[in-house]
Amino acid sequence: MAVSQERVETVEGLLGALVEARQRTLELVADLSDEQLIGPRLAIVNPLLWELGHVAWFQERWVLRHLRGLDSLLPNADALYDSSRVAHDTRWDLPLPSREQTLAYMQRVLERIQEETRRERGPMLRDAEGYDEVYFLHLALYHEYMHAEAFAYTRQTLGYPAPRMAVPQPLLRIPDGPARNEDVEIPGGTYWLGSEPGGVFVFDNEQWAHPVTVRPFRIARYAVSNADFAAFVDDGGYRRQEFWSAAGWQWRLQAGAEHPVYWQPAGGGRWLRRHFDRWVPLEPELPVLHVNWYEAEAFCRWAGRRLPTEAEWEVAAAAVPADGGGLGAVRRRYPWGDVPPRPGQANLDWITGGCLPVHALPESDSAFGVRQMAGNVWEWTADDFQPYPGFAPGPYRDYSAPWFGDHKVLRGGCWATRSHMLRNTYRNFYRPDRRDVWAGFRTCAL
């Protein structure tokens, strides 16, 4: 079932998108055994059986209980699935419903949301703070999108087979020849960082647009490739302390890291990379993947480069050049413009099951010619995850505020990110030691 970008802003469109999102979620676990749905106790993943129930609980919590005041369909749901109250390490020990019971709960919640939303009620429902039905349907939808992406990196972490997804396979344009990276000149000026009020839905950490001064800078046209990063590894980059910050070097020693987490040497200067449960020869022109912020920072020092700031990244993705130089007043919603991605324009929505070469998809270029700033691979930026001026938490108060200060900002989305959710202002955030997410980076000149 496909859901058009144009319809997803309406109530009926959102209901259709929730059904389609659920189909994707179920595809991600359909082939796994009951034992695999629990999996080993690791700090960087959840038991997938718990996570499935949590997705349904979250939708029930906000769309049915918070907005409509209804009782839970599962009497002990909060004790099982409230991620703010149920400690991560305890989730393997909970008396979780069986697979069949969990799937039935998910279906009942989805059906109840459809029934209640379509019920004639007069004016659109709002909560005590003025957030309306459309807001909470978006919140429920985007939360499921995020967990579907998390299911994918859980499968990668645990070495499960690649999921089989029933998605269209558009033709994707990959220019001939190797990916010769080069810098793109970006003019300086005043830029309004963040989202503008008045849209249908934005996350609280994007609120609100505020002026920042950006100096002229040069940013790489492409993300760092496997070939680029292999040169750093082969030059002893992981063993040379001068390339690492103090925190990064401490992490490297504790982790025993000598190369990216899913690489292994194959002899003769060659590398293999694990893609889910298969070891494949390292693809030189794919973006380096599953590297953390410390690894990205060390590469940059080795290369005589640096990570872009969050503001620089958004300028390169969203700004347009002004006549006569500098930055124009217009900001784009997507790197290529304000129209949602057409098939083959961006590597999003699971269409490839993995990454494309860093120089693929010239139709994805920003106004300045920076490529693939939406999709393919999340990109680390230099900045700590911090609130914008005047920040106020949204109804889901634990979405952003608990993570300010000790996380780093990533931008751009990856191949498993849903295009309905993504825009140039979208901020992702992870701890700098995380290697499991679909993250890479691009660099700037010093």
Beta strand ranges found along 335-435 (DSSP E)? 378-384, 408-411, 428-430
CA distances from 131 to 31, 135, 136, 224 (A): 38, 6, 8, 41
State pLDDT tens for residues 36-92.
999 999 999 999 999 999 999 999 999 999 999 999 999 999 999 999 999 999 999
Bigger pLDDT: 406 or 324?
A: 406
DSSP state of 439: E
> 134: helix, coil or strand?
helix
Backbone angles phi, psi at 402, to 5 degrees: -65, -15
Whether pLDDT at 113 is above 90: yes
Q: Give pLDDT, residue 7.
A: 55
| Mean of pLDDT values over 343-354 | 92
- Report the Cα 128 to chain-centroid distance in Å: 30
Q: Give pLDDT, residue 200.
A: 80
Q: Give pLDDT, residue 1.
A: 37
Band (pLDDT 50/70/90 cuts) for residue 408 is: very high
The owner of tokens 């701890």 is: 431
β-strands 378-384, 408-411: how paired? antiparallel
Whether pLDDT at 232 is above 80: yes
Domains identified in the chain and CATH numbers: 11-158 (1.20.120.450), 180-446 (3.90.1580.10)
Q: Which helix (H) or strand (E) holds 273?
A: strand 270-275
Band (pLDDT 50/70/90 cuts) for residue 179 is: confident
Band (pLDDT 50/70/90 cuts) for residue 418 is: very high
Q: What is the overall mean pLDDT for the chain?
A: 95
Band (pLDDT 50/70/90 cuts) for residue 3 is: very low
Q: Give pLDDT, residue 2.
A: 43
Q: Which helix (H) or strand (E) holds 444?
A: strand 444-445
Whether pLDDT at 122 is above 60: yes
Measure the CA–CA gap between 135 and 130, rounded to whole angstroms.
10
Cβ atoms within 10 Å of 91's Cβ, excluding its own:
21
The owner of tokens 């109804």 is: 395
Q: Give pLDDT, residue 123.
A: 83
Backbone angles phi, psi at 84, to 5 degrees: -80, -20
Measure the CA–CA gap between 115 and 111, rounded to whole angstroms.
6
| Mean of pLDDT values over 264-284 | 96
Whether pLDDT at 8 is above 50: yes
| CA-CA-CA-CA torsion sign (193, 388, 406, 422) | negative
- Copy the structure tokens of residue 348: 């999003």
Residue type, 1: M
